[in-house]
Amino acid sequence: MKKYYLLFANEKVLHYLAEKNISKTSMLLSIILPSVATWCENIRNPEYSNIIKLDNHTIRFYTELLNINERSFKKCIKELQDVSILKRKKADEFYCNPFWSSTGEDKSIIAFRNYCVQKQLFVPFELQDIPEEKKQEWLSEFLARNPSAEKHIGIYIGNNAQNYTAFVGKGKERLNSTDILLLLSLAFRCSYIIQPKGKNIQGNVFISNGEIEKNLAKNLCVETRTLRDSFLKLRRKEMICKLPKINGKYLVNPFIFAKGDGNNVRKFQYMIRLSGTDYFDGYAEGDISTSFSENLLTKN
C-alpha cells in the first residue's frame, strides 16, 4: 500500500532531535518528505532505495504548501542534512536516513541499513555524538548481527491535501517543533492496531498522566507546562482525542498516524468512519475506498 511509509520514531531518536532544536518547518518536512521516497525493494542493489528527488516541481509543491520561499526551503533541507535525516546523493536527489524513515519489507530495509552503515552514509541517531572508537565497535556488532527492523509507526498520507495541511495550520495553531515531537512520542507509545479473535479491531491508544507527562517533557527537553500546551493544541487540531468515560486514555488520529499492520490500519480507519463519532471529523473524507475497505472487512 503506497499510502504508507514507516517512521522509526523511538524515544532516543526524538530526544536527539529535541536536543538539536531544529526549526518547525524542518521538522514538518522531516515527516512529509519521506512520503515521496523510493521504496526499499532491491536487496542486491540497495543504493537505489529511499531516495527523495527534489526537482523544481516538487520544491514548488512544498514551498506553496508550507507558505515559504525557495531559499527558506533550501535552508530547511540543509538543516535536515545537518541532523542526518537527509544526505545528498547528487544535485537534486537525497538519501533519506533509513533509521528515521523508509518503506518496504523488513529484509529490504535491513539491506539498505547495512549498506548505509558500510558506506558510512548513516548510523543510528543515538550514535551521532559518541566517540569514534566506540562508534566503530558498535557498527561492527550491528553488521554482524544483521538485526530485524525496529518497531515502527506507520504514517498514513491521504489522497487529499487536508492531511498535509493538518500539520501546517495558521498563526498560533501552526504546529511547532515541540508539538510535532510530542505527537510522534505519543504515536510511538500507543498500542498496536490489532483484531483479537471474535472481537472488534482496536488500538492506537495511549495513556497519559502526570508522571508520563513529566517523562515526556524531560525527553523532549521542555518544561512540563510547555508540553501540556502542546498536548492541548494537538487535541484542538483533532490529532489526538480523549476517549469518553475512560480516565487518561487517548486515541491518536489514525488518518494521520497509525501503528500496526497495513490491513488492520485500513480496517480501523473504516471502523472509525462508520462509527458516527466526531473524533476526527473530515479527516476520513475521500481517503478510504469503500469497496476496498468492505473487501478487507469480509476477509476475516
CATH number of the domain at 225, please: 1.10.10.10
Do the beta carbons of residue 167 and residue 28 sit within 8 Å?
A: yes
Report how far apart, in Å, the C-alpha atoms of 294 and of each of 240, 270, 298 are. Answer: 26, 9, 6
Number of structural domains (the chain) is 2
pLDDT of residue 290: 36
Residue 6 contacts by C-beta under 8 Å, 6 or more apart in sequence?
Answer: 101, 102, 103, 109, 149, 152, 153, 154, 155
Q: Please, which residues bridge with residue 154 across strands?
A: 6, 258
Other beta carbons within 10 angstroms of residue 176's beta carbon come to: 19
Q: In this predicted structure, what is the pLDDT of residue 283? A: 57
pLDDT band at 261 (very low <50, low <70, confident <90, very high): confident
Q: Do 247 and 212 lie in a common domain?
A: yes
Q: For residue 63, is it within any domain? A: yes
In this predicted structure, what is the pLDDT of residue 217? 97
Write the pLDDT tens digit of every residue in 197-241. 778 888 999 999 999 999 999 999 999 999 999 999 999 888 899
Q: Judge if 142 and 224 occupy the same domain.
A: no
Domain, as residue range, for 49:
4-13+20-150
Same domain, 104 and 228: no
In a domain, 162, yes or no: no
Burial class for 191, CB neighbours closer than 10 Å (0-12, 13-18, 19+): middle
Phi, psi of 193 (to 5 degrees): -80, 115
> Which of 80-89, 109-118, 168-177, 184-193 shows the highest mean pLDDT?
80-89
> Is residue 293's pLDDT more than 50?
no
If asked whether residues 45 and 121 sit together in one domain, one would say yes
Please, what sign has the CA dihedral across residues 123, 125, 126, 127? positive
DSSP state of 127: G
The answer to the question of residue 237 being in a domain is yes
More confident residue, 273 or 252: 252
Structural domain includes residue 155: no
Please give the average per-residue pLDDT across 246-262, as a whole number. Answer: 86
Provide the pLDDT for residue 1.
38
pLDDT tens string 57-90: 999 988 988 889 999 999 999 999 999 999 999 9
120, 150, 180 - which closes a domain: 150
The single-letter DSSP state of residue 172 is: G
Would you state the pLDDT for residue 294?
Answer: 37
Is residue 222 included in any domain, yes or no? yes
Q: Tell me, what's the pLDDT at 96?
A: 95
Among 90, 124, 150, the domain-final residue is 150
Residues 286 and 180 in one domain: yes
Q: Evaluate whether residue 26 is within a structural domain.
A: yes
Residues 9 and 137 in one domain: yes
Q: Are residues 132 and 176 in the same domain?
A: no
28 and 121 housed in the same domain: yes
Report the candidate in 154, 175, 191, 187 with the shortest Cα–Cα distance to residue 34.
154
Over range 156-160, report the average pLDDT.
Answer: 59
Q: How many CB atoms lie within 10 A of CB 83?
A: 20
Cα 70 to Cα 76: distance, rounded to the nearest angstrom? 10
**Does residue 159 sit within a domain?**
no
DSSP state of 15: H
47 confidence band (pLDDT: 50, 70, 90): confident
Per-residue pLDDT band for 163 (boundaries 50, 70, 90) equals low
Phi, psi of 203 (to 5 degrees): 135, -165
pTM: 0.85
Could you give the percent of the chain with pLDDT greater than 90? 39
Domain-terminating residue out of 150, 185, 218? 150
68 plus 115 within the same structural domain: yes
d(CA 186, CA 190): 6
- β-pairing verdict for 101-102 and 4-7: antiparallel
Q: Is residue 235 part of a domain?
A: yes
- Please spell the DSSP secondary structure of 221-236, one letter per residue: TS-HHHHHHHHHHHHH
**Judgement on whether residues 26 and 134 belong to the same structural domain of the protein:** yes
Domain shared by 139 and 203, yes or no: no
Do 91 and 206 have their domain in common?
no
pLDDT value of position 298: 38
